[in-house]
Amino acid sequence: MAEKRTAESRVPALNRGQRFAEVEHAQNVGATIKRLTVYFAKEKRMVGCMLLVVVLGTLFGVYAPSLQSRAIDIIAGAAAGRLTRAVLAMFLAYALYSLCQLLQSLVSARLSQSIVRRLRGELFARIIDVPVRYLDTHSHGDVMSRMTNDIENISTTVSQSLPSLFSGVLTIIGTAAIMIAFCWQLALLSCATVVLTVLTTMFLSKQVRLYSRRRQMLLGRLNGTVEEMISGFRTVVAYNHQDRTTQEFCETSDQLTKAGIRTDIMSGIMGPIMNCIGNIGFVIIAAFGGYFAIHGLISVGVISAFIVYAKQFSRPINEIAQIYGQLQTAIAGAERVFAVLDEEAEPMEGEALLADKGASVSFEHVDFSYIPGHPVLRDFTLTVPSGRKVALVGATGSGKTTVVNLLMRFYDIDSGDIRIDGQRLADIARGSLRKDVAIVLQDTVLFADTVRSNLTYNNAEATQEKLDEAVEMSRCREMIDHLPQGYDTMLAASGANISQGQRQLLAIARAFVADPKILILDEATSNVDTRTEKEIQSAMQRIMQGRTSIVIAHRLSTIRDADLIVVMDHGRIVEQGSHEALLHQQGKYYELYMTQFAGFAT
């Protein structure tokens, strides 16, 4: 039993827990392994130390049973020598073997964390440097999975699977050599059970993977049902769908239970079958070993050694079979990580923005498309005068937000030109541009930090007086005063511990603190009530004075005082002028206005 526990303890924990999980496969295994070796090369000392410990541990593990054989032969009178010395030598070999196993775990864990730390750092640095287009066109969950799951798979493989693989291969070679040296006939008979073990493992693993795949699919469906029910609980209750939702959940849960039982049964019989095959091997060794011992080919001690070696020989074969799937998954994960690392970083070089406060902005015959062949802006020409407030209105998909994306250089134009006070936008460094342009988005983003840190996100040197002024202007004073620690109150991730309207007020205050040369408001008051909206509008007039401002709005009441209202439709400007002038034209703006305020059908 002790030998069995020792053998199982060497199997990587992840493999024992997820032994038959779905295996991912890399498209280019050779190139991925070659790139991974570069990270190992940077840790030469630890790699060399790990290999040395693995080799020494394997030697002691293979040599110890032969000392046990000699001690038994001395007891049986089949060999000469002092029993005490033989027992001490055997004890020392097993002690050194255990010490090497401990050192192997420690060194491999440190090596794993060193490599993963370097990989994780490079990956995070690349993610924050990739163009906005990359994150807009890739699933955020997939990107996060590369940072977490894929990196964790690599970590587990380096810390557990690779050492087990190296020691397993060496153990097989060393054990086979000693078994052949003792008695090649008995060694061949022992291999028969090894072949049976491998074939049984392959068959059962295939069956369990089939059931496991179905279980994972049903588990994902069940989790999706629960997530939808929780996130849409009000809708479920409002439409009285509790019974139907419960029925769907129970049906999926029943299917998952059946698949789980079958998977667990197939997984559970693996151990007993392996033990049965192992016992058959012991019977073969005992029977034929006894026959050979009677005829003087081997001693009783050799028989005892063969029993240990037979288990020692089959164990790493099973381990390698289990490790193989984890290696494949780790290599596939590394390939996915390298795919992100190979993405080109967003170019940050360029000139400093030379414009002063209240810079003019001009779009000159700009064409742009997110997908080639599907233009979003067509021959877009617009001048935002210095220090003026310009509002962009239009139906969803008309290109309003795209104008902001281009001005912030989240995307580069296909053709045409954009200038700020005559300076070409393409020549301005993105860092300099974004430092002097503040933007308040409809989807407010706050970070898990203090209120103060969120307000000073773009202006870390802002004084307390500046903060107080921004808070007063954005009508945040009362809200902050009611927080437990005021400015030093910690916000939850995405500001989850305050309301959506309060988040938007803080985002507006953050833009005030930034004191930008150009201010962009993208539906900045969409999540506040009408009364608060009017207060913010009056406050905005103060910060917009002498500052170029671009406002995107669906609520036309928020932009009636704009110096210029630009009406967009399918990427083109169809009308522009003041509020009164556009109403007088009775065109597209008039239709939008009457829809909102006169109750016309949409």
> For residue range 419-452, what is the model confidence (pLDDT) as tens digits?
998 889 989 998 888 888 888 877 778 888 888 9
Per-residue model confidence (pLDDT) at position 598: 57
Stretch among 77-86, 369-378, 530-539 having the lowest mean pLDDT: 530-539
Residue range 145-174: average pLDDT? 83
Per-residue model confidence (pLDDT) at position 316: 79
DSSP letter at 574? E
Residue range 382-403: average pLDDT? 87
Is the predicted pLDDT of residue 393 greater than 80, yes or no? yes
* CA–CA distance, 239 with 235 (Å, rounded to integer): 6
Sign, Cα dihedral of 90, 95, 96, 102:
positive
Is the predicted pLDDT of residue 601 greater than 70, yes or no? no
Residue range 553-566: average pLDDT? 82
Residue holding tokens 């903060």?
467
Contact between 411 and 442 (Cβ < 8 Å): no
Per-residue model confidence (pLDDT) at position 4: 37
- CB within 8 Å of 565: residues ≥ 6 apart: 390, 391, 393, 559, 576, 577, 578, 579, 582, 589
Say what the pTM is.
Answer: 0.71
Residue range 479-486: average pLDDT? 86
Is the predicted pLDDT of residue 319 greater than 90, yes or no? no
* CA–CA distance, 242 with 249 (Å, rounded to integer): 10
Q: Locate all alpha helices (DSSP H) within 232-349, ordered by sequence.
A: 233-238, 242-268, 270-294, 300-341
Residue range 15-44: average pLDDT? 69
Residue range 10-16: average pLDDT? 37
CA distances from 409 to 133, 405, 413, 427, 436 (A): 11, 6, 9, 11, 13
Is the predicted pLDDT of residue 120 greater than 80, yes or no? yes
Is the predicted pLDDT of residue 6 greater than 50, yes or no? no
Residue range 201-215: average pLDDT? 74
DSSP 98-154: HHHHHHHHHHHHHHHHHHHHHHHHHHHHHHTTS-HHHHHHS-HHHHHHIIIIIHHHH
Q: How confident is the model at residue 2 (pLDDT cuts 50, 70, 90)?
A: very low
Residue 419: which H helix or E strand, with range? strand 415-420
Q: Measure the CA angle with vertex 90, ends 88 and 94; round to 5°.
A: 115
Beta bridge partners of 394: 568
* CA–CA distance, 405 with 407 (Å, rounded to integer): 6
* CA–CA distance, 428 with 434 (Å, rounded to integer): 10
Is the predicted pLDDT of residue 417 greater than 90, yes or no? yes
Beta bridge partners of 551: 391, 521
Contact between 171 and 320 (Cβ < 8 Å): no
Per-residue model confidence (pLDDT) at position 532: 66
Residue range 350-373: average pLDDT? 86
What's the mean per-residue pLDDT of the chain?
81
Of 545, 549, 562, 541, nearest to 520 (Cα)? Answer: 549
Is the predicted pLDDT of residue 7 greater than 70, yes or no? no
* CA–CA distance, 50 with 199 (Å, rounded to integer): 32
Stretch among 143-157, 265-279, 385-399 having the lowest mean pLDDT: 265-279
Greatest mean pLDDT among 21-30, 52-61, 208-217 lies in 52-61
* CA–CA distance, 170 with 176 (Å, rounded to integer): 10
Contact between 110 and 159 (Cβ < 8 Å): no
Residue type, 234: R
Residue range 182-204: average pLDDT? 78
**What percent of the chain shows pLDDT beyond 70?**
90
Angle between helix 162-182 and 300-341 (nearest 10): 150
427 by Cβ neighbours in 10 Å (0-12 / 13-18 / 19+) ranks as exposed
Residue range 317-342: average pLDDT? 79
Greatest mean pLDDT among 215-224, 243-252, 523-532 lies in 243-252
* CA–CA distance, 510 with 520 (Å, rounded to integer): 12
Q: How confident is the model at residue 516 (pLDDT cuts 50, 70, 90)?
A: confident
Per-residue model confidence (pLDDT) at position 539: 64
Contact between 417 and 424 (Cβ < 8 Å): yes
- CB within 8 Å of 320: residues ≥ 6 apart: 165, 168, 169
Residue range 403-416: average pLDDT? 90
